[in-house]
Structure 1
Amino acid sequence: MLSVPFLEDLLRRWFRPQTFDDPVDRLNYFLTASILAFFAIMVSAKQYVGTPIQCWVPMEFKGGWEEYAEDYCFIQNTFFVPFEKQIPENFDDRQEAEIGYYQWVPIVLALQAVMFFIPNWIWKRLHCQSGIDLDTVVNEARALRGCRPSVREQDSTKLKEYISDCLGVHENYRPIRFGCIRIGKNLGSYVTTLYLFVKFLYLVNICLQFYILNSFLGNNYTLWGFEAIKDLFAGQEWKDSAVFPRVTLCDFKVRRLANIHRYTVQCVLMINMFNEKIYLFIWFWFLFVAISTILNFIYCCFQFIPAYSRENNIKTLLKHLVSPTNHIEFKKSIRYFTHDALKPDGCLVLRFLEGHAGAIVAREIAHKLYEDYITNQATRHRNMVGNNDYGDNLINRKPSGNSKLEVPSFPYDDRKLTEPLMQLEYGFQDPTKPKDI
């Protein structure tokens, strides 16, 4: 099979599912864009290769005259008048009934496909600036599923270290202040904010698609899908829709010996048989995409913006560590781990790992990150307050095969011990009451 190497490589690189998204993202930028592109190609083939229009011309029109009339009517638009109504004598009234969209259907469908892809293009271009290579993280996590236990332990540790380094790469950056609002990568919410913004772009795009269709096809398209289905369920025959009429009229002029003759011919727009079925499918498909996108946007906002939602997600991943004896300390440590170490971006990375590599891999990586955080905090606290016994049992612990991580007794309730660390890290802001994004 012959192909254009550059074009084939470009399409393969840009129009393929990504490794850092969710099913609703793929529904928008990949599946819907592919469907619209397919329809654009199909209509183009019928329109420019086949016979999109045929007209009933006067008897004196022979050969080239008939082709001229059909080509002229296809290019210069036709107008629709139902058979039960008289053809208007006023040419201004005829212009108001003109149908001029059918020539542009392939181009508009192609542009709509590009519009569905634009939010994903923005996501791909901007998320890389966060310092977290989500593509590498997800692919490496996927590779862990088929590794031998010895190799898996080593590779998961490397992946944990890479994620930990990425999450802390912007800690020394200063945030930008706009009044009481702080914006910056060091806040740990750059990727999450960008991801929610892209979700919002998908929502804006699908609403804009209905506006484009109504402007392109006419205001009758708004509820046309429901009306068509209602007729089918009522047992009525498929009507000759005013949105996609199959039989139209066309006015054109012919100059003969310095005299101008005006003709009105009746034409059959066979291309509208395809357009009608295509846009009926598109109407219900866009409705499905709109509902899915709205629900997904609301769900993601509730999952990633409130602090308690992020805590609950991490608790779910690390619930195998909790026991009746360490329940209270575990809850405290998870709160600090979520908002001090992971931050919103780390929680989002773990959600991507869970969605693409599976819950087992995500739980394993979260466990290692949590274990590192507990160990580092124990060492740091001991050095700051001089409590040599604090954390020794964790630092010197030799984990066995199936042993659970021991959650040490956190001295965070003692204000005398925690005040120096809180002044240094939080500027007297209590991290046990984390703010939302």
Structure 2
Amino acid sequence: MEKDCCASLPTTQSEAEAAISLSNLRLEEQIKEEAVGIIEVAGDVKVLDLTKTRITEISNLEFLTSIEELTLRWNGIKKIHNLDSLVTLTYLELYDNLIEKIENLDCLVNLKTLDLSYNRIQKIQNLGKLTKLESLFILHNKLTKIEGLETLTELTYLDIGDNHITKIENLENNTKLETLHLGANEFRVIENLDALQNLIVISIPSCAISEISGLEKMPKLQEIYLQGNGISQIENLEGLTNLRVLDLNHNRLTKVENVKHLQKLTDFWARSNRIEHFKDIDDLSTLPNLDLIYFQSNPIFDQPNYHAKMLRMFPQITSLDGDVRRRAENLCFIQDSYYVPMTQSAAGMDDEDKKIRKISYYQWTPFFLLFSSVCFRLPSMLWKYLASHSGININELIKLACDDNNIKPEIKRANIKSLTTHIQGALKFHKRLRKKQISPHKFMKFLNIPYSNAYVTLMYCLTKFLYLANVFGQLALMNYFLMTANYRYYGFGAVLDLLKGKTWDKTGVFPRVVLCDFDVRVMGNIQEHTTQCVLTINMFSEKIFIFLWFWYVALFVMTAGSFIYWAGITFLPCFGKRFISRHLEISDTPYDTKENAQDLVNFVDNYLKADGLFVMRKLIMHSGVIFGTEVVATLWRSYFNVEKELKRSNSFPHKLNYDENGESYKNSPFNGEEAGFNVLRKRKFDTSNVSPHTSKYDGPNERDKLITPPPLPEDMLRMLKKATGISSKPTSATNSLPNYERYLSEGDTSFRYSHYPENKNPSKLNYVVVNKD
């Protein structure tokens, strides 16, 4: 059976002196509870706290010869006794016990504070010898009358609230009272307080008081608390010129009046009353020191633009309806705060330590995310700008290749022709600049890059590199922005902490509760305040930044792979030839990897170059293999048709070295192959050799543009057919064609007209030379 915890205390002075001296220490530093329920206490202890130690009887305290403060809160004590030897005691707390009577305190002549709150006391008695008592707490008992306080002339603080007292009386001798709490009792009138000329604070809440009275003769009164009564009018405060706080919450006020003389009033509380109009509170606007106002839960509080109107009426106030807390939280959000764990004290922390603990990233989170999005957008914008300065409009080409109408054959052919024409034009432009060695910019030669045949490819690789550098920079910037010095890699470290159960209150990263310092002007003085604020945004920011970190890591890996891929296929020639060869093999164009090996080299290295290969790759990536392969095949056929015509033209120098007047080109500055090329170009646009049925820009392919034969007479056509053995019965498909076209369609397409005299009348044609290649 458990023994009384006080029964085994030392009973002699020698036993007390044998204990270790633990003077001026609280319970956790001066007592040790063992398994048998024995508490060892030093005899010279001055402060002894026995809160919640399950003591049921006060005994065996005689050895405490130096005790000054004794706390027996939250125990099961039923009777006050065995304290006679504690003459040095100045503070005795018996809060929340089972005491029914005040007794056996006569020897405590030095007692200054006595707390008997939350007991079962029915009467104030046996306190006559406690002449030095200054503070008396007997709230929440069963008192029915104020009595037994006549000899307590030094009393300055009296709290007898929450009892069953029906009348204020018997306080005439307590003239030194400064604070009086009488709330939650049963009296209806404020009376018999005229003798309390030194009263500073009076609190009479939650009674049945219907009017303010009995306070006008207290010139030193500074604070009045009358909340929770039935007061309907402010009156009888004329002599209270020092009043600073007036609390009338939860009453029946309909108007604020009779307060103009309260020039020192700083706080006015009128929550949950019946005030409806702004004109009913005009008297408050005459108070120059008014700093805090409460009008919540009044009809006026629901008026439109309530806060704006109140601030116009009372520009001097710093707190309206308790918004100091909201203002402090807003201030914490817009200025730097600092985090201190709950296990550490923030009292007396110097500015340097606060600076080390400072956090401000939550204020800049929206701007950081905006900056990140801009950084990710810049390489794309740069690519569009730089690519538009080349001769190849890559974006429009891809858009044309991805046209949904390409499923229609005629539209598909037209789009392929447009694509190849655009690409050919750009490639020929680059070839012409390279052949003539033209440099538009003579001094700032780096400006000639847009005219090179690898400009688009280099700009694309540069864009890829910028994307890669941006992602890497974003990862480094995030670690710096979040000030996570304890994490080398923020995302991994944060996730590991979460898995280990380390939350924000241990790591200090994205703390939900922080401290904030701010100043408040009160009565002309600047007061420093430190408040604890809740940063709800950090709960969301933590998840957002963890996701962003892993997303950036994934982007870095993918971007690095893409950059390496494009750099490899761009700067290693074998990949370009293999790419074109693979698509020519699957096309309908005759192609042999061995026989056309040199042709492939010429096509890739001398014709397409880097930009042509890049365009082919992008077209195939976006439009698909089928469409892209047809574009590659079309460019291949077009390129070698032109080359074949150039070779054939160069094989007849005796027929090409004459101008249209029959003069020789021997004296031309262009000799040899160059001369032949220029003659071919001249023949290409020679209008005298163009059929009257066609334009000089017409023709299904390069062959017809280069050499366009005139129509043949019927007799000549029959003679040619007879000589070659071609059938004279035309098919239905060729009846509508001109004679020479029908002949070509029926015969071997390798036959070509290599020369014909300039004669506009075909019937007078003298001879035709037909070559078969």
TM-score when scaled to structure 1?
0.69
Whether 2:416 is the aligned partner of 1:156: answer yes
Whether 2:456 is the aligned partner of 1:196: answer no
Query: Residue 730 of structure 2 corresponds to which residue in structure 1?
Result: none
Distance in structure 2 (CA, Å) of the matches to 1:274 and 1:263: 28
Distance in structure 1 (CA, Å) of the matches to 2:590 and 2:623: 30
Which residue of the other structure, out of 331, 340, 346, is the alignment partner of 1:72?
A: 331
Where 1:260 maps in the other structure, the secondary structure is strand
- Cα separation, partners in 2 of 1:77 and 1:180, compared to 1, 3 Å: closer
Distance in structure 2 (CA, Å) of the matches to 1:159 and 1:74: 57
Query: Residue 215 of structure 1 corresponds to which residue in structure 2?
Result: 480
Q: CA deviation at 1:188?
A: 0.9
Unaligned runs of 5+ in 2: 1-318, 655-701, 705-740, 742-773
Query: Residue 131 of structure 1 corresponds to which residue in structure 2?
Result: 391
Q: Deviations over 1:252-281 (max 9, x none)?
A: 222323433222221111000010010010
Whether 2:491 is the aligned partner of 1:225: answer yes
Distance in structure 2 (CA, Å) of the matches to 1:144 and 1:305: 34
Whether 2:359 is the aligned partner of 1:103: answer no
Q: Note if contact 1:171-1:186 (Cα within 8 Å) is conserved in structure 2.
A: no
Q: Note if contact 2:504-2:511 (Cα within 8 Å) is conserved in structure 1.
A: no
Q: CA deviation at 1:387?
A: 9.9
Whether 2:342 is the aligned partner of 1:83: answer yes
Letter in structure 1 aligned against 2:334: I
Q: CA deviation at 1:243?
A: 2.4
> Which structure exhibits the higher relative contact order, with contacts defined as CA atoms closer than 8 Å and separated by 6 or more residues?
1
- Cα separation, partners in 2 of 1:77 and 1:154, compared to 1, 3 Å: closer
**Within 5 A, what are the aligned runs for 1:6-155?**
63-87=322-346, 89-143=349-403, 146-155=406-415
Which residue of the other structure, out of 539, 543, 568, is the alignment partner of 1:273?
A: 539
Whether 2:618 is the aligned partner of 1:352: answer yes
Letter in structure 2 aligned against 1:167: L
Distance in structure 1 (CA, Å) of the matches to 2:330 and 2:444: 63
Distance in structure 1 (CA, Å) of the matches to 2:481 and 2:336: 14
Letter in structure 2 aligned against 1:273: M
Where 1:267 maps in the other structure, the secondary structure is strand
Distance in structure 1 (CA, Å) of the matches to 2:639 and 2:359: 66
Q: Note if contact 1:78-1:98 (Cα within 8 Å) is conserved in structure 2.
A: yes
- Cα separation, partners in 2 of 1:385 and 1:238, compared to 1, 3 Å: farther
- Cα separation, partners in 2 of 1:179 and 1:256, compared to 1, 3 Å: closer
Distance in structure 2 (CA, Å) of the matches to 1:386 and 1:358: 43
Distance in structure 2 (CA, Å) of the matches to 1:272 and 1:346: 52
Whether 2:605 is the aligned partner of 1:339: answer yes
- Cα separation, partners in 2 of 1:280 and 1:151, compared to 1, 3 Å: closer
Where 1:262 maps in the other structure, the secondary structure is strand
Query: Residue 417 of structure 1 corresponds to which residue in structure 2?
Result: none
Which residue of the other structure, out of 296, 303, 306, is the alignment partner of 2:572?
A: 306
Where 2:429 maps in the other structure, the secondary structure is coil
Letter in structure 1 aligned against 2:381: W
Letter in structure 1 aligned against 2:599: S
Q: Note if contact 2:587-2:630 (Cα within 8 Å) is conserved in structure 1.
A: no
Distance in structure 1 (CA, Å) of the matches to 2:559 and 2:496: 26
Distance in structure 2 (CA, Å) of the matches to 1:145 and 1:362: 15
Where 1:129 maps in the other structure, the secondary structure is coil
Which structure has greater helix proportion? 1
Where 2:431 maps in the other structure, the secondary structure is coil
- Cα separation, partners in 2 of 1:182 and 1:126, compared to 1, 3 Å: closer
Distance in structure 2 (CA, Å) of the matches to 1:154 and 1:141: 11
Q: Note if contact 2:479-2:490 (Cα within 8 Å) is conserved in structure 1.
A: no
- Cα separation, partners in 2 of 1:292 and 1:109, compared to 1, 3 Å: same
Distance in structure 1 (CA, Å) of the matches to 2:605 and 2:404: 27
- Cα separation, partners in 2 of 1:369 and 1:325, compared to 1, 3 Å: closer
Which residue of the other structure, out of 499, 502, 509, is the alignment partner of 1:243?
A: 509
Q: Deviations over 1:184-237 (max 9, x none)?
A: 344310100111111111111111112221221114354221123334555x36
Query: Residue 85 of structure 2 corresponds to which residue in structure 1?
Result: none
Distance in structure 1 (CA, Å) of the matches to 2:409 and 2:497: 61
- Cα separation, partners in 2 of 1:367 and 1:106, compared to 1, 3 Å: same
Distance in structure 1 (CA, Å) of the matches to 2:593 and 2:490: 58
Q: CA deviation at 1:69?
A: 1.7
Letter in structure 2 aligned against 1:371: R
Q: CA deviation at 1:306?
A: 1.6
Q: CA deviation at 1:339?
A: 1.4
Give the CA RMSD over aligned residues: 3.2
Q: CA deviation at 1:128?
A: 1.0
Q: CA deviation at 1:178?
A: 9.2
Q: Note if contact 1:381-1:387 (Cα within 8 Å) is conserved in structure 2.
A: no
Unaligned runs of 5+ in 1: 1-59, 389-393, 399-437
Distance in structure 2 (CA, Å) of the matches to 1:179 and 1:250: 58
- Cα separation, partners in 2 of 1:276 and 1:144, compared to 1, 3 Å: closer
Q: How many residues align?
A: 333
Whether 2:621 is the aligned partner of 1:361: answer no
Where 1:254 maps in the other structure, the secondary structure is strand
Distance in structure 2 (CA, Å) of the matches to 1:83 and 1:357: 62
Where 2:388 maps in the other structure, the secondary structure is helix
Distance in structure 1 (CA, Å) of the matches to 2:568 and 2:584: 20
Where 1:265 maps in the other structure, the secondary structure is strand
Letter in structure 2 aligned against 1:127: A
Q: Note if contact 2:504-2:512 (Cα within 8 Å) is conserved in structure 1.
A: no
Which residue of the other structure, out of 503, 516, 519, is the alignment partner of 1:253?
A: 519
> 332-341 vs 136-145, which deviates more?
136-145
Q: Note if contact 2:641-2:703 (Cα within 8 Å) is conserved in structure 1.
A: yes
Distance in structure 2 (CA, Å) of the matches to 1:199 and 1:346: 19
- Cα separation, partners in 2 of 1:255 and 1:306, compared to 1, 3 Å: same
> 362-371 vs 154-163, which deviates more?
154-163
Distance in structure 1 (CA, Å) of the matches to 2:394 and 2:525: 72
Distance in structure 2 (CA, Å) of the matches to 1:169 and 1:261: 78
Which residue of the other structure, out of 373, 379, 385, is the alignment partner of 2:645?
A: 379
Q: Deviations over 1:82-105 (max 9, x none)?
A: 223332621221122111111111
Distance in structure 2 (CA, Å) of the matches to 1:103 and 1:139: 43
- Cα separation, partners in 2 of 1:258 and 1:324, compared to 1, 3 Å: closer
TM-score when scaled to structure 2?
0.40
Query: Residue 449 of structure 2 corresponds to which residue in structure 1?
Result: 184
